Amino acid sequence: MSFFMNAIRCAGIAFSLALLPLGQGMAGEKIADPSRIVSIGGAVTEIVYALGKGDLLIARDSTSLFPPEAMKLPDVGYMRQLSPEGVLSVNPSAILMIEGSGPKPAIDVMRKSSIPVVTVPEGYDAEAITAKILAVGAALGADSEAEALAKKISADIDEAVKAADAVPADKRKRVLFVLTLQGGKIMAAGDHTAANGILKLAGAVNVAGDFHGYKPINDEAVISAAPDVILMMSRAGPGASDEEVLSHPAIKLTPAGKSGSLLRLDGASTLGFGPRTADAIRTVSKALYGG
């Protein structure tokens, strides 16, 4: 079975869990009135536009920065710090949000309103992107468009991954993804994170991949991990300038610190796991290996 068809099967399973307008209808049923949608999650918003349904959106969250048209919409806040009053104040006909949005009390309030809330499954691999596209398409009644888009993006990702896989195993870069560095404390990306997912697809080794999620990592662990490269987002918060990162007591003792190998990439496009992921794979791979 082809990758795309296998991904379709996986996505079908996700539909039964993700596409239930709460308190209304059956799982997998499309949004009854999609005329005024609030989109929560950068990938969700990108997919809506990629499906040609951007005119249905009336507001978005602060992680929805692409395409440029999205920036013209009202911002209802950060996806993990939502205010139900802020989201509901724009009078949506439905709320389309990525799994993991919060906080939970805010989501609970929205679920108790008369507004349908549709959750799109999150994930950090190629199959997850297909699932997201098909989920959004089903919610908007754009199944055929979603299938065509998923097939196109899946093929593009396959091509990007194939190119990245050409790097020999013994030449693969060992990378430490630093989410934040504040007060000398490093918050690193482990397994089951977007950072881990993009590193794997781009042919790199996540040196912190033996723990789950984003967690603090002590100096001894950083030194023993011996990363060749430190990877951070362009905006990593206070205390995370290049000089501060590379002069960190632990980082400066690693191969990355000694060679000054610090890469910064745009977070929204690199970690979004949406329509632009094939480009993100190529960007990360080129940054690590050249070419």
Domain boundaries, the chain: 3-161, 169-289
> What pLDDT score does 236 carry?
65
Q: In what order do the strands lie in the sheet with 117-120?
A: 57-60, 37-40, 94-98, 117-120
> What pLDDT score does 217 carry?
96
> What pLDDT score does 18 carry?
40
> What pLDDT score does 240 carry?
80
Contacts of 107 by beta carbon, 8 Å cutoff, 6+ apart: 82, 84, 101, 117
Higher pLDDT, 291 or 255: 255
Could you give the count of Cα atoms lying within 13 Å of 86 in the half-sphere of its Cβ? 18
Which position has the token pair 């990360």?
284
Contacts of 245 by beta carbon, 8 Å cutoff, 6+ apart: 178, 181, 230, 232, 251, 262
Which CATH number does the domain 3-161 belong to among 2.40.128.20, 3.90.550.10, 3.30.200.20, 3.40.50.1980?
A: 3.40.50.1980
Q: pLDDT per residue over 194-228, tens digit each?
A: 999 999 999 999 999 999 999 999 999 999 999 99
Q: pLDDT per residue over 42-84, tens digit each?
A: 999 999 999 999 999 999 999 999 999 999 999 999 999 999 9
C-beta separation of 266 from 149 below 8 A: no
C-beta separation of 131 from 7 below 8 A: yes
> What pLDDT score does 238 carry?
65
The topology under which CATH files domain 169-289 is Rossmann fold (3.40.50)
Cα–Cα distance for residue pair 93/115, rounded to 1 Å: 6
pLDDT band at 271 (very low <50, low <70, confident <90, very high): very high
Q: pLDDT per residue over 90-130, tens digit each?
A: 999 999 999 999 999 999 999 999 899 999 999 999 999 99
> What pLDDT score does 143 carry?
96
| Cβ atoms within 10 Å of 150's Cβ, excluding its own | 23
Q: Residue 52: left (phi > 0), alpha (psi -120 to 50), or beta?
A: left
Residue 15 has pLDDT above 70, yes or no: no
C-beta separation of 58 from 86 below 8 A: no
Averaged confidence pLDDT in the chain: 90
Cα–Cα distance for residue pair 176/27, rounded to 1 Å: 40
> What pLDDT score does 29 carry?
61
- The reply to whether domains 3-161 and 169-289 share a CATH topology is yes
Q: What mean pLDDT is predicted for residues 18-33? A: 53
